[in-house]
Amino acid sequence: MKIERQEVVWATALRALDALHRITSWLRLGCVAVLWIVALLCDPQDQARVFLQLLPVTMGSVLAHVHARPALLEHLESVPALDRVAAHLDGTRGRATFDLPGILEGGGILLASTLYGGWWAVTGFSPQELAVALVAVAVFTWSVFLNVILDPGYYAPQKEITFGAEQSAGPPSPVLNWLRHAVPPGVALLMALMFLPAWTPSLAAVPLTLRIVLVLSILSLRLTWLVFDQVLLASAETVADAEQAARIREAGELHSVGKNAVGSILNALESPHYKRNEVRSLLRNTLVQMEESIRTSRGTASVSSDSPPPLGELWDAAVAILPLELRRRCTLNPEAHSLTMGDADRQLTRRLISDLVTNALKAGAKQVACTVRYRHDDPQAIRVEVLVRDDGCGMPHDVLRDPKTSLSVMAKELRRFGGELTFATPAGDSTGTLVRACWRSATQLMPASPSRDGAMPALHKES
């Protein structure tokens, strides 16, 4: 399903505002702390009124801080008297609506502003104290109304959608859209009415230039809004380009599986030397290739598609086509999970793992242990070794001489790469089989120190 542009815009806005809330909540708490410090310095006869008018904005700042942090919100839900408040806060995320922290912060800071300017301004502040308070009010106001006009609910699509773990609630009402546009000029006008006229001697002593700058800073909310919209549009375009690139890559992988793998199966079916086991082996190999492509498309692979996938991804795909009960019987040596291979080695390993593990399970094995590694016994040649040990009923001694078996087909294929395939019953065991496949690698290894048994732990460079 194609990702719609508006879905990306909304989801990006939601996640960006989550981060913005977490950062700006600290900023607003700091501004409130400054206002309380200034309040302690004012005339004692005015302190009671100042304290009362600072309470709403203080409560709003604390609730906004909790709202921005899911861990704190969970603690709030555990308090019986506050569980309904927590439910309200949780239900407003990503929606353009009136919430309790927003009302307390927005209305509270406007109420607190009347302490420093307007008809009811307090006269007990010194010019220096008042200047600090005005800056704190302006910063708080800018921060809280920034969150208002950039609320992700304004970017929600017309229809309710689920995008990853996020769920939208539809677009806001026309009234809220109108209020959004009215916020920057309206708030700036209110601040101009309160702070520009010389309502008190202390306010008149604060430089007029500072007061004008503080009022005009509120109008920059509109500029920030425009920039944010452009960033959201750019993110949507980036996602669209990435989605198109992913579709092209997936189409190429599907074409490769369809043309090469299925083509090989058709050739084997139409061959005058038709071998049922060879066709079965090719089908299993195709299933593993398809599983690898599906895992990459779903994003369950542990590495990006641009880097060589480790062998662990191939192993996960190979056992994923088995029933769950059989998957639990199969193990891969831990070192092999991070091993990287060239294309030729990987294709042979894929087919070997698929065939040998399946044959062992069909033989009734309860445990199948697979080991894959690079060997450096000969300084001039690197060899790939695949060992599969099982506790099944064993194999006929002439299985490699029977041209109809998948093992004989694989042995013939390995000889093309200077390799061999052998099997034996482990010493001291009455049952079970140890199959060893080894061939000359098509990959070039960077200089490294071999281990005592000649095994090389990792591949570094492909020729």
Domain co-membership, 173 together with 301: no
Alpha carbon distance 38, 323 (integer Å) = 71
Are residues 313 and 385 located together in one domain of the fold? yes
Same domain flag for 240 and 384: no
203, 334: one domain:
no
Placement of tokens 């190429």 in the chain: 252
Asked whether residue 152 falls in the same domain as residue 45, the answer is yes
Hey, which residues does 424 pair with through a beta bridge? 434
d(CA 15, CA 359): 50
Q: Which residues contact 211 (CB under 8 A, 6 or more apart)?
A: 134, 195, 196
Enclosing H/E stretch for 407: helix 406-415
**Dist. CA 327–CA 358, nearest whole Å:** 10
Q: Render pLDDT for 63-104 as a digit per residue (tens, 0 to 9).
A: 888 888 878 877 777 777 777 777 777 666 666 677 888 889
114 assigned to some structural domain: yes
Range of the domain at 449: 275-456
Residue 262 is predicted with a pLDDT of 66
Residue 162 phi, psi (nearest 5)? -120, 120
The per-residue pLDDT for range 169-183, each reduced to its tens digit, is 777 888 888 999 999
The yes-or-no verdict on residue 31 having pLDDT over 70 is yes
Q: What is the mean pLDDT of residues 400-429?
A: 80
- Asked, for residue 260, whether it belongs to a domain, the answer is no
180 plus 281 within the same structural domain: no
Tell me, yes or no, whether 262 lies in a domain.
Answer: no
Residue 224 sits in the same domain as residue 286: no
CATH number at residue 369: 3.30.565.10
CA–CA distance, 130 with 42 (Å, rounded to integer):
10
Kindly state whether residue 258 falls inside one of the protein's structural domains. Answer: no
Among 350, 338, 414, smallest CA distance to 383 is for: 414
- C-alpha angle 101-106-109 in degrees, rounded to nearest 5: 115
pLDDT tens for each residue of 312-358: 888 888 888 888 888 899 999 999 998 888 888 888 898 888 888 88
Whether residue 110 sits in one domain with residue 235: yes
The least confident of 207-211, 225-229, 237-241, 434-438 is: 237-241
What 116-119 contacts at long range (C-beta under 8 Å, 24+ apart), as own/partner pairs, is 116/194, 116/195, 116/203, 117/194, 117/195, 117/197, 117/199, 117/200, 117/203, 118/193, 118/194, 118/199, 119/199
Are the C-beta atoms of 154 and 60 separated by less than 8 Å? no
The owner of tokens 């208002």 is: 148
Token pair for residue 39? 């309040």
Query: Are the C-beta atoms of residues 29 and 58 closer than 8 Å to each other?
Result: no
Q: What are phi and psi of 390, to 5 degrees?
A: -140, 170
Q: Which residue has better confidence, 17 or 394?
A: 17
Q: Do 112 and 28 contact (CB within 8 A), yes or no? A: no
Tell whether 357 and 281 lie within a shared domain.
Answer: yes
pTM above 0.75, yes or no: no
Q: Which residue has the tokens 């410090």?
A: 37
Q: How far is CA 193 from the centre of its chain?
A: 47
If one counts the domains in the chain, the total is 2
Q: In terms of residues, how long is the chain?
A: 463
Same domain, 92 and 214: yes
